[in-house]
Structure 1
Amino acid sequence: MRNLRRTALLTVPAAVAGLLLLTACGSDGKPAATATPAASAPAASTPAASAPATDKAATDKAALKGSLAAGNTAKFGAIVLDGLDYTLYRFDKDTANPSASNCNGDCAAKWPPVPVNAQGTIKGIDAKLVGSVTRADGTKQLTLGGWPLYRFAGDKAPGETNGQGVGGTWFIAAPDGKKAAAGTGTGGNGY
């Protein structure tokens, strides 16, 4: 039994080192690009044993904000939600190729950027379409189909879509990164 424990302890660090090496290099052995697709599964993490329960709850909530899920509405069809089921938006003044965010300062207060989170998850969305962009303040923001993603401060509850069409430049994001199409949904999530 003692030898099994020792083997397991040696295997875990070796596996972690292997994953780090694979993450740092692309498939051709060269360093990976800075805008990388997000993983389709949550990253493994071990909370510190001494962390209070409230810190874990805050961490879990932050991880959910960096998550993406496909939803469906009767009014707007297929849409993108964060892990807390808040609607996500894209901004016509941003660019998708190359990805660039043009919402900063007061704009970012009204339209909070969706942060990149290693613990975030992706459900019902092609992980190949998910990436990130570095914002003017140096933080990382999730992108979908190259378009930076945002929440709207005017959405006070999950499933609200109050940001649709604001200023003729803000639109609900569809799971392919394009604008959600009005009137094509089934209302499957009850929004």
Structure 2
Amino acid sequence: MKKPLSFGLGALILTAALAGCGGSPGTATSTPPAAATSSAATTSASATASSPAAAAGADMNVSASSAGQIVVDSKGMSLYFFTKDVKDSGTSACTEACLTAWPIFTTTSDAPTVEGVTGTVGTIASPDGKKHVTLNGMPLYYYAKDKAPGDVTGQGVGGVWYLVSPAGEMIK
């Protein structure tokens, strides 16, 4: 009897921690999900891939989804905003454990390329020297549970994670 109860309680605590992913200001980076590999970027709006990765140039495209037109990386993986981030602050509110579930979208380029994205693209510095890509002054993230292009399983998680429109607005 104790094992099922303790397992359920542990699962509940882990779920709550990953869903909220609050945190203090400050940028940190994380490696995208284990299957991620870096490869040449494509500029097709319907790019395909098996997992997110920081593509050279951080190319972003627009793709159709169940939530409408959304911003994706060059491999078709969905990108998200975190409502606890402060626009134009130059920092990320997602730190430590949050980054396990929500890896940052990085680039090696000073001028990430886009196709179909009309919002203002930029970068902020992460503590390890990587460039965290922003759209309209808000940092962009992957969701670790999105496993294939077109997955949008992070939409609305914890009431604080939302897909991004081509104009750089949260899709609620």
Same fold, TM exceeding 0.5?
yes
Partner of 1:108: helix, strand, or coil? helix
Q: Note the 1:36-185 alignment, pairs <5 A.
A: 58-60=38-40, 62-63=54-55, 66-73=58-65, 75-118=66-109, 121-126=113-118, 129-180=120-171
CA distance in 2, matches of 1:72, 1:180: 13
Q: Deviations over 1:121-143 (max 9, x none)?
A: 311113x6000111344422000
Q: Deviations over 1:97-119 (max 9, x none)?
A: 33421112211121110002329
Using the TM superposition, give the Cα deviation of residue 72 of structure 1 relative to its aligned residue in structure 2, in angstroms. Answer: 2.1
Gaps of 5+ in 2: 1-36, 42-53
CA distance in 2, matches of 1:70, 1:130: 14
Using the TM superposition, give the Cα deviation of residue 93 of structure 1 relative to its aligned residue in structure 2, in angstroms. Answer: 0.6
Partner of 1:133: helix, strand, or coil? strand
- Corresponding residue number in structure 1 for 2:48: none
- TM-score where L is the length of structure 1: 0.58
CA distance in 2, matches of 1:105, 1:121: 29
CA distance in 2, matches of 1:153, 1:65: 21
Cα 1:85/1:170, change in 2 over 3 Å: same
Which has a greater percent of helix?
Answer: 1
* Number of equivalences: 123
Gaps of 5+ in 1: 1-56, 182-191
Partner of 1:109: helix, strand, or coil? helix
**Aligned Cα RMSD in Å?**
2.3
Contact kept? 2:40, 2:56, Cα under 8 Å: yes
Contact kept? 1:68, 1:82, Cα under 8 Å: yes
CA distance in 2, matches of 1:91, 1:137: 21
Using the TM superposition, give the Cα deviation of residue 59 of structure 1 relative to its aligned residue in structure 2, in angstroms. Answer: 4.7
Cα 1:117/1:138, change in 2 over 3 Å: closer
Q: Deviations over 1:144-177 (max 9, x none)?
A: 0111000000001110000001111000011122
Cα 1:164/1:68, change in 2 over 3 Å: same
Deviates more, 1:87-96 or 1:109-118: 109-118
Contact kept? 1:88, 1:151, Cα under 8 Å: yes
Q: Which structure has the larger Rg?
A: 1
Contact kept? 2:60, 2:74, Cα under 8 Å: yes
Contact kept? 2:104, 2:142, Cα under 8 Å: yes
